[in-house]
Structure formats: structure tokens, C-alpha cells
Amino acid sequence: MSDSGKRVLLAEPRGYCAGVDRAIETVERALEKHGAPVYVRKEIVHNKHVVETLTERGVIFVEETDEVPEGALVVFSAHGVSPAVHASAAQRNLRTIDAACPLVTKVHQEAKRFARDDYEILLIGHDGHEEVEGTAGEAPEHIQLVDGPDSVDSLEVRDESKLVWLSQTTLSVDETMETVSRLRERFPQLQDPPSDDICYATQNRQVAVKAMAPDCDLVIVVGSQNSSNSVRLVEVALQAGARASHLVDYARDIDEAWLDGVSTVGVTSGASVPEVLVRGVLDRLAEYGFGTVETVTTANETLTFALPRELRPARSAG
């Protein structure tokens, strides 16, 4: 610790996950290969800085495919889309590249398979989140949304013996387990998904925050308000013992008053956040006397995903 007693604990892992890295590279490669403009349906990842930077480079973000000119190129975001969105793009003769994270696609496949086997699927997730809309759109007749433990009591199911739960990939692990145990109290025959739906990156970032939060007077999470996994990190920090926690997009969002009487500040970032923004926060904290930085490492991540087929280099003959 520094002489002043002020220090920063920096969570590791933090920031970009393999799915975000792939989605952003997908848009960058599409720009290089096809030139501007490239259309992207919804924010490619939920981060203000990423969206602003890509906009400057010639990306046009739209809400729906009907805003894209006939025949143009559109990239679908990391959160995945429903079959209805693919169909509407096809109807307009759009060229498409799907940057859905493979771990979201995995949940889509599970939803399709259980629906085919005539299961009713209880999808734990946040109402209105793009990922949930995409997954639910795979089998709308078979899926009911469960938005947290409090929505369990009002559920009505068709057949309790053919019931399975799935989840959004970016939820709080603890809150999801609470929802599942409430579900199981009501529906004892409820089946578990074949594998974890909450992705490795979400889990790892929550574990790292939990490890450092009890030692922190304040935890600053770098991330945007519409980033589910970033918002969860604030909640997890508070539940794990941080005295205060705030979400900031940029260093300039830090309110100096937050640092009154604080000696240890934890810093982490959501899975859609470029490291340059974390560096900005560390520089700002150093100006306030928090120049000593200790890293708290709970996992090492090495996973990477191949780019969508349309952007992979062509194999050389022979």
C-alpha cells in the first residue's frame, strides 16, 4: 500500500470477452472488405465508446432491418437475433453477417431442441433485453420469460413433467440460482439445462469482483447502463461487501465526492468494455492519489472464437 494508504485493486479478468472481441472484429473486417457504410442492427455490443468509434468509421447502426436499404450489408449484433429477423432481412435481399456470440447461439440451439421435444421452456432473463428477444423468438410458443425470483409465483405451465429452464448468458449467477430454487419449489420436476447458460466471461468477472469487493470502500465498474453483465457487476460488488459501487462509461463520470474517506478502490469492467477506458479510469484515480495498483487475479482466459464464415480468409488451393 502507498504511504497515503490509498490503493486500487484491479480485477482480472475484466473487459472484453471472446464473443465481444469477435463481434467487433467482424464489423471492422466487414468495413475493410466491403467499405462504408456497413449497417449493424442494434448496438454491436452494449458499449457507448465502441458504438461511437465504429460510427465515426462508417458504420450505421439501425434498430431494425427495414431501415437498411435493399441489397445492403447488415451485421447482426453479438446478442443474437430470432429467425424472424433473418426472414425479414432475406425478404429485403440484404446481405447478412451474423456476429452472434457462439455461446448465445448455443442457448438458441438448446431452445430449439427442447421445443422440438415439446418441452415448455422457462427462460430466465431480463424483459426487453435483445438476447432474450432473440432466444425467445426461436420458439415463441414454447418459451415463457422469468424475470427474476419474484416473477415465479405468477407462472402458469401446461405440463409440469415437461419443463426445463434456460437463461440469458449475462445474469448474476447467485440471483439466477435463487430464481431456479424458487422455480424448483413450485415445479419439482423442472429439468436443468444441459450445460451452463451463464457464460464463462460473465461468471469469471463476477468471481473476480467478489474476491476483491470485501476489501473495497468503493468499486468502480467501467461499462454502459444498457450492458447487462456490467450492471450485474455493480450488484455483485455490493452484495459481496463493497461499501459503494458505481457504473461509469468514462473516467470523467467519476464524482470526486465518491472518494471521500475512501482508501481502497476496486476497478473492473464489463465484457463489452475496451481496456483504454479502464486505463483512463486508472489515470484519473492516480490524479486523486490512488496511484498504487494491485491486480487481483482469479482466472486466466484464453478462449477465442473464429470469425463468421463470410469473413474468414479463403483457403489457398492445394
Where does this chain bind ligand SF4 (CB under 6 A)? 17-20, 78, 101, 103-104, 169-170, 199, 201-202, 229, 271
Q: At its nearest, how many Å lie between ligand SF4 and the CB of residue 46? A: 10
Round to whole Å and give the CA distance between 44 and 30. Answer: 13
Q: At its nearest, how many Å lie between ligand SF4 and the CB of residue 306? A: 14
If the CB atoms of residues 90 and 303 are measured against ligand SF4, the closer one turns out to be 303
Q: At its nearest, how many Å lie between ligand SF4 and the CB of residue 313? A: 23
Name the amino acid, one letter, at 313: P
If the CB atoms of residues 166 and 271 are measured against ligand SF4, the closer one turns out to be 271
Whether 216 has a binding-site annotation, put simply, is: no
Q: What is the side-by-side order of every strand in the sheet holding 38-41? A: 59-62, 38-41, 73-76, 95-98
Q: In the numeric block, which cell numbers belong to residue 12?
A: 482480472
Task: Assess contact for 143 and 111: CB atoms under 8 A.
Answer: yes
Round to whole Å and give the CA distance between 213 and 126. Answer: 25
Q: Which of 110, 131, 133, 138 is catalytic?
A: 131
Name the amino acid, one letter, at 316: S
> Is 175 considered catalytic here?
no
Nearest to 82 by CA among 100, 66, 60: 100
Whether 263 has a binding-site annotation, put simply, is: no
If the CB atoms of residues 53 and 263 are measured against ligand SF4, the closer one turns out to be 53
Round to whole Å and give the CA distance between 33 and 264. Answer: 46
Q: At its nearest, how many Å lie between ligand SF4 and the CB of residue 263? A: 32
Name the amino acid, one letter, at 264: T
Round to whole Å and give the CA distance between 28 and 39. Answer: 12
Comparing every residue's Cβ against ligand SF4, the nearest one is: 19
Q: Which residues are annotated as a binding site for [4Fe-4S] cluster?
A: 17, 101, 199
- Known catalytic residues? 131
Q: Which residues are annotated as a binding site?
A: 17, 46, 79, 101, 129, 169, 199, 227-229, 272
Q: Which residues are annotated as a binding site for dimethylallyl diphosphate?
A: 46, 79, 129, 227-229, 272
